[in-house]
Structure 1
Amino acid sequence: MPTLDAYAPPGNLDDLDDFGRKAWNTFISNTVDEAIQGPDPQQVLNDSPRLQFYNLTRTNTDTDVRHAPIKWTAFPRVIKITSISDLQRWQRADASRDVQDEYCEWSVIRDGAGKITQVTFTSEGPEYWEILAQTNPGKVLELYQKFISPDARKEDLFSPSGRYEPRNKWNNSTSHGAMHLIQPNNTLGAEIELAAAATIRRVINGQELTTEQELIACSKYGAPERNSDPHIGAGVNALARQKADISLADPVGLYFDDLSTDGWETPDGSDPKSYWTYLRGDSEHRVRAVYEVPPDKGFGVGDITIGGRTIEFGAQIADFITIRLTGIACRFGDSTVPPQIACKEFSAVDMREESFNAAAFSSSGRFLDPRPTLSYRSSRVS
């Protein structure tokens, strides 16, 4: 297979004009190159370069290519393991987008009686919206009016100087809409960095590391308490141990994999999954979904039960959603990149920051993630 001409937008979305698509390709390509290079070896030891990771626009993909979907549950595991009951964890997860850290965020609409009528979910990275706002701000407003509220106005979304505000009034809560991801670590930059870092094989004291937790503890590419980070890292590293070259499939993004409705029941016996609808992205790369019952059915989301309990929180639905990314690998058995024989180490300053972040919880229960978050603003279009 030849090299890719350009990285496509997430979900193969068609919002970007020609200039925007070029800007998007530049952003993804540069971010992949930075991830391959890795951190400065003078500041971070045993974590660079990541030579089994490659850029699809610079290196060809060989004919032995395999696609490797990696999936995880959308409900934030950090909240789950720090809560004392299902009710508490659902309440906490629905209270703030800042705790929805599995690359899936949601917002809930209720009727006058407080019963849920709609839950909207998104997996769209903020970087895409930054570039769209720079290259076609009118499209940003159009999409907010279509998917969030016809009352959205340009001044709600952009600062007086014209800068797009990701945490605007229509995208900063769990009750007024969710256009794209805003949790600080839910970025495509974090996805790319994590995948690249996980391609480093680790042989410690003569034994190659293979399990999710020992890999993430040694390579420090994410938060071990999450569903996503350890699972992504282990899936990528399993390919690396087969001495393959690895990348993320185009279009690079985080996508909805499925909604399982086992144990769900509707008042009229209809299929509960029939009320799950994808709104953005192509058939293989869905980035926006809604759970909503049509008005003519005579009941709402809040009348559906899961395991005998009515749906009172969007988080109950998130328990049954899976998110995925797709890695690709080729040239199996050909890589001559040697494994690292020590774990990732930080300078004194970096170590203090890592230790603080890994243990820090705010009073609201928000977990401060040690994953590197690459700034999409650094690729700003001029």
Structure 2
Amino acid sequence: MNTINSYGPPGNLDDLDDTGLKAWSMFIGDSVDQAIKGPDPSQVLNDSPRSQFYDLTKTDTAADAQQATVTWTAFPRRIKVHSLSDIQRWQRADASRDVQDEYCEWSVTRDPASGKITKVMFTCEGPEYWNLLAQSDPAKVLQLYQTHISPDVKHGDLFGATGTYQPRNQWNDSTSHGAMHLIQANNTLGAEIELAAAATIVRNIDGTELTTDQDLIQCSRYGEPERNSDPHIGGAVNALARQKADIALADPVGLYFDDLKTDGWATPDGSDPKSYWTRRRGDESHPVRFVYEVPQDKGFTVGDITINGTPIQYGAQIADYITIRLSAVACRFGQSTTPPKTACLQVPTAPAGAAEAARHISSLPAHGYHAAPHPTSRTRRR
């Protein structure tokens, strides 16, 4: 098989013009190349290069290619494991977008009189795409906000006095006034790319090959061990790497909605509860935006639907049943000659700059990088 000519936009969206599409492909390519290179060995040991990770635009995908899909639950696991009850965890997850860290964020609309939920917006679109679109076509950004969030959105609400797009604006900074794209600090495409690349490193520690999700993420420090997503993504990618395969993220690179399971759900009129789950952005195979909403002519609202007998009072109850996914491509099985690393990620103690690296890494629950919201810059995840 040949290389691809360029990376497509997330969800195969048609927002960008030709110039924007080229810029997006360049951003993804640069991010992949940086992830292959890995961190500077003078600052971080045993984490580079990632030679089993490859760029679809520069390296052929062989005929034995297989696509691997990794899925996980959208509800933030860190909230779940540190909560005492379902009510508490649902309330906490609905309280702030900053805790919605599984590459899925949502915002809840309620009837002002009854307080019942009428609509929940869900998004898995990364902020990098929106920053690039804002540079390429500010009018398009405004039009999309007015279409998907509210017709009341104004240019100044999004771009402020400086004319620079503000990802966290009044229409995309809460769980009650809209969710256009991801804003939680670790929910970026850059984080996805870096995590996948770092997870291709096979670890053989003291003669034992690491194979479990938690052993791998604790050793390679490519993400947050308590999340649903990071350990599972890393474990699935590493399983392919252990088969001596080359691995890439499938085009178009992005996080996508996988499914909504509605087993145990019931509506007042007996209608299919999944019929109110509507895709709003992204193509059928790569959906990036959904809304859960009951049409007004049905005579009931989302808040009248029950899940295992409990009325839906929080968007988080729906998130319990949503899965998010990413897709990787693996090929050249059995052909990689890259030797496993025989030590976990370490910070060197002798070279200059090591102290700063140690201070930085010690502040992280896990090792990882993410692309900054602006698609032309990149920083360590903090």
TM-score, normalised via structure 2 length = 0.95
Whichever residue aligns with residue 261 of structure 1, its letter is: T
Tell me how far 1:153 sits from its aligned partner.
0.6
Unaligned runs of 5+ in 2: 348-353, 378-382
Verify: 1:230 aligned to 2:231, yes or no.
yes
Tell me how far 1:351 sits from its aligned partner.
3.1
Alignment partner, residue 334 of structure 2:
333
Q: 1:373 aligns with which of 361, 370, 373?
A: 370
The answer (yes or no) to whether the contact 1:77–1:225 under 8 Å persists in 2 is: yes
Taking the TM superposition and a 5 Å limit, the aligned residue runs for 1:149-160 are 149-160=150-161
Alignment partner, residue 38 of structure 2:
38
Alignment partner, residue 350 of structure 2:
none
CA distance in 2, matches of 1:307, 1:252: 36
Whichever residue aligns with residue 136 of structure 1, its letter is: D
The answer (yes or no) to whether the contact 1:185–1:371 under 8 Å persists in 2 is: no
Unaligned runs of 5+ in 1: 359-368
Q: Percent identity among equivalent residues?
A: 68
Taking the TM superposition and a 5 Å limit, the aligned residue runs for 1:277-356 are 277-346=278-347, 347-356=354-363
CA distance in 1, matches of 2:278, 2:327: 22
Tell me how far 1:23 sits from its aligned partner.
0.5
CA distance in 1, matches of 2:79, 2:52: 34
Alignment partner, residue 63 of structure 2:
63
SS of equivalent to 1:101: coil
| Total equivalences in the alignment | 370
Taking the TM superposition and a 5 Å limit, the aligned residue runs for 1:143-292 are 143-292=144-293
The answer (yes or no) to whether the contact 2:133–2:141 under 8 Å persists in 1 is: yes
Alignment partner, residue 365 of structure 1:
none
| CA deviations over 1:196-227 (Å, ceiling 9, x no partner) | 00000000000110000000000000000000
The answer (yes or no) to whether the contact 1:170–1:176 under 8 Å persists in 2 is: yes
| CA deviations over 1:38-76 (Å, ceiling 9, x no partner) | 000000000000000000001010110000000000000
SS of equivalent to 1:278: strand
CA distance in 2, matches of 1:78, 1:143: 32
Tell me how far 1:357 sits from its aligned partner.
3.1
The answer (yes or no) to whether the contact 2:129–2:375 under 8 Å persists in 1 is: no
Alignment partner, residue 94 of structure 2:
94
CA distance in 2, matches of 1:241, 1:167: 40
The answer (yes or no) to whether the contact 2:128–2:375 under 8 Å persists in 1 is: no
CA distance in 1, matches of 2:361, 2:310: 40
The answer (yes or no) to whether the contact 2:132–2:375 under 8 Å persists in 1 is: no
Tell me how far 1:115 sits from its aligned partner.
0.4
Tell me how far 1:352 sits from its aligned partner.
3.0
C-alpha RMSD over aligned residues: 1.0
Tell me how far 1:356 sits from its aligned partner.
2.8
Alignment partner, residue 120 of structure 1:
121
Whichever residue aligns with residue 373 of structure 1, its letter is: H
| CA deviations over 1:261-285 (Å, ceiling 9, x no partner) | 0111111111111110111001100
The answer (yes or no) to whether the contact 1:67–1:327 under 8 Å persists in 2 is: yes
| CA deviations over 1:123-178 (Å, ceiling 9, x no partner) | 00000000000011110000000000001010000032221100011000000000
Whichever residue aligns with residue 251 of structure 1, its letter is: P
CA distance in 2, matches of 1:136, 1:89: 39
Deviates more, 1:158-167 or 1:304-313: 158-167
| CA deviations over 1:181-210 (Å, ceiling 9, x no partner) | 000100000000000000000000001100
CA distance in 2, matches of 1:298, 1:124: 32
CA distance in 2, matches of 1:92, 1:353: 29
Tell me how far 1:376 sits from its aligned partner.
4.3
Whichever residue aligns with residue 266 of structure 1, its letter is: T
CA distance in 2, matches of 1:182, 1:2: 36
Deviates more, 1:266-275 or 1:231-240: 266-275
CA distance in 1, matches of 2:247, 2:149: 37
Whichever residue aligns with residue 279 of structure 2, its letter is: Y
Alignment partner, residue 366 of structure 1:
none
Tell me how far 1:109 sits from its aligned partner.
0.1
SS of equivalent to 1:45: coil
CA distance in 2, matches of 1:71, 1:82: 22
SS of equivalent to 2:329: strand
